[in-house]
Amino acid sequence: MRKPIVTIVAVCGAWVAAGVAAPQVPGGRRGGGPLPGAVLWTEQCAGCHGTGATAGRAPNLFDEEWLSRVSDAEIGNAIRKGIPNTEMPAFDTTLSELQAFQLIQHLRMATAAARPRPAFVANPDGVTLHSAKQAFRLELVADSLMTPWALAFLPDGRMLVTERDGRLRFVDHGKLSEPVKGLPKPHVQQDGGYLDIEVHPDYARTRWIYLAYTEDQPGYAAPAEGRGGTPQVPSMTVIVRGRINQLNEWTDQQVIFRAPAALYTSSGVHYGCRLIFDRQHHLFFTLGERGNQSNAQNLETPLGKIHRVNDDGTVPRDNPFVHTPGAVPTIWSYGHRNPEGLAWDPVTGVLWESEHGPNTADEINIVEKGHNYGWAVASKSAQAGLVLSAPGMDDPVVYFTPTFAPAGITFYTGERYPGWKNTSLFVGGLLGQALRRLEISGRSVTSQEVLFNQFGRVRDVVQAPDGYLYVALQDPTGVPHPLGGDIPLAASTPGRVVRLMPVR
């Protein structure tokens, strides 16, 4: 059953907050010409409304306060039907639904790109911030990390943190351990390396720790170097479990998921991979479509999917495609681009997910058994060749234009921040350097706010056994380097972990 379309929420400028260069023209395409919405605006709208930089006789619509109050649906309705008793005509016979949507995207992206960039704060320790329902102070817990990707906690309160370059460490009362020894060697390229870490729900008995990472294709023999240099080694996401002994060694490793060798690719994007357990100890994990859009709709490949397995990697008998000929039996949902966040709603019990969109239209979804989430047939990105919605495909609960590249997510269920309990979904952002709080009621997002956006890329946010929220931060990428040039967007940069301490 398809979800009803809900009001779409537009948010602040990820390009600007990330320090990424703004387009040369409002709505411009990085490295290319203007986006379709910018062209349409010049042709259809600028004569009356101006360009943002220039005024027109009609109201300026590049207005951040106004855009924060109206939904895309409301703007689209005004474009289609016009506004009575004004010069604003109806464009329902002039513009297609897709073109109207592209105009809305242009408004939001150009307005965000004009916003001043918040200055990056390298040391957030002691900074106090005030949100709608809770004031808090940031407290530095661990420093001297490189691209901390994920956090997880043992029952005794010790924290595990993965570094994308291929290290797993403990943090114990602020003390950072040496890397765990004997771990598998990762393939480190662009999005790849060490990814998520998760602890078995019955860790006290099993001692299992689950690790997602990317590996070289087993047995791969590189061809001789040609004119283009040595080709990139094909790689893929792998999930294993193991134990850590008293000597800080990784032992007893077992493979939970490994794709067929034919699926390994030299692409360095969209590996996923977020891990989460349900109450029955099923493990859910996410896989991106590895940059090949056709994978997301193909049930014969695990890519572009969310999967569900037993804690030992075997297939649950009630998975939705177990009896579908040719389908990968571990698939739980499909039509995903690059999901990097999973969280259980403590009130409704449903599974929420964050997903990277293509430049625009990052998504927050409610993931349900057997459902199709549209990529790459339907997307709110207004990409050429895609529709905005399609029968039998679920629309996102909310989406974000421009992008802020959502990463780890969590619901807060503790007592440390009373105003946030059970109704707050926290979403980390990479491009936007934002920790965002979404207010949840049932299956809807009723409001949202940015808690901060000046401390670097927010890789993960986790509630610890002590009831506090811990956040993994990475110094900005895609910004000018102090010594000249730019720091590549996918670069590994220093990072740290902070704790949110409530302020009364």
Residue 317 in tokens:
């008998």
Q: How many CB atoms lie within 10 A of CB 443?
A: 14
**Could you confirm whether 173 is annotated as catalytic?**
no
Residue 107 in tokens:
């408004």
Q: List CB contacts of 247: < 8 A, sequence separation 6 or more.
A: 181
CA distance 170 to 151: 10
CA distance 397 to 399: 7
Asked if residues 329 and 321 have their Cβ atoms less than 8 Å apart, the reply is yes
Question: Looking at the DSSP assignment, which residues form a beta bridge with residue 214?
Answer: 237
Chain-centroid distance of CA 62 in Å reads 27
> Which of the residues 270, 307, 336, 356 is marked catalytic?
270
Q: Write a three-state SS string for 370-436.
A: CCECCCCCECCCCCCCCECCCCCCCCCCEEECCCCCEEEEEECCCCCCHHHCCCEEEEEECCCCCEE
Q: What is the DSSP annotation of 287-348?
A: E--TT-GGGGG-TTSSTTEEEEE-TTSPPPTT-TTTTSTTS-TTEEEE--S-EEEEEE-TTT
Could you give the 3-state DSSP secondary structure of residue 108? Answer: helix
Residue 20 in tokens:
């990424």
> Packing angle between helix 72-81 and helix 97-113, nearest 10 degrees?
130
- For 343, phi and psi rounded to 5 degrees? -155, 140
CA distance 207 to 200: 7
CA distance 63 to 189: 40
Asked if residues 283 and 257 have their Cβ atoms less than 8 Å apart, the reply is no
Q: Catalogue the E-assigned strands of 154-259.
A: 159-163, 167-172, 175-176, 194-199, 209-216, 235-244, 250-258
Could you give the 3-state DSSP secondary structure of residue 500? Answer: strand
Sheet bearing 362-367, strands edge to edge:
339-344, 351-355, 362-367, 398-400
CA distance 281 to 312: 10
Q: What is the DSSP annotation of 185-212?
A: PP--STT-SEEEEEE-TTHHHH--EEEE
Catalytic residue list: 270
